[in-house]
Amino acid sequence: MADSHGHDTVKQMIGVMTANGWRITEQRREMAEIFSKSEGYLSPKDVYDQMAVAYPGVSFDTVYRNLRLLSEMGALEQFYFMEGGLKFRASCLDHHHHHLICVNCEKTLTFEYCPMEQKLDLPGNFKIMNHRFEVFGVCEACQKE
């Protein structure tokens, strides 16, 4: 039984796919399910390994291409970890928040405070449509190790 967060994640991801004119195939629904069950970041291989359980014929290339497209659409956030390479997680679309990301264990903490609400002295008369704010560091647990 998925919690409501998981269910919402699936709905949101499928909503983004539909808005972008994607047909919702069983495989794409499964991919949304995989992200809804995950708290942290998943590498393309993590996603592929889970997809291959349900769809033994799926190719890594297909999974990877879908991940890239989903991140371009805004359904997934991507981040490059020094050790782990490129990883993805479901975007939080229902409210605005930002992330603290531990570069060691990859745990992500959200914070509601938005630095963009301060007066920013931005160059070039730039009209901001959207933004993401990520802070990378080492979490408390990893510091103690």
Instruction: Please state, for a pLDDT cut of 90, what percent of the chain lies above it.
Output: 44
> Quick one: 33 and 83 in the same domain?
yes
Determine the pLDDT at residue 28: 93
Is there a binding annotation on residue 102? yes
Strands 134-137 and 108-111: unpaired
Ranges of the chain with pLDDT below 70: 1-5, 93-96
> Is the domain of 20 the same as that of 54?
yes
Q: Which one of 47, 74, 90 terminates a domain? A: 90
pLDDT of residue 53: 95
Domain of residue 17: give its range: 4-90
Tell whether 92 is in a known binding site: no
132 vs 96: CA distance, rounded Å: 9
Residue 74 Rama label (left phi>0; alpha psi -120 to 50; beta): left
Q: What is the pLDDT of residue 1?
A: 42
114 is known to lie in a ligand binding site: no
Residue 34 has a pLDDT of 94
User: 117 labelled as ligand-binding?
Assistant: yes
Does 105 belong to an annotated binding site?
A: yes
Q: What is the domain count for the chain?
A: 2
Q: Are residues 49 and 119 in the same domain?
A: no
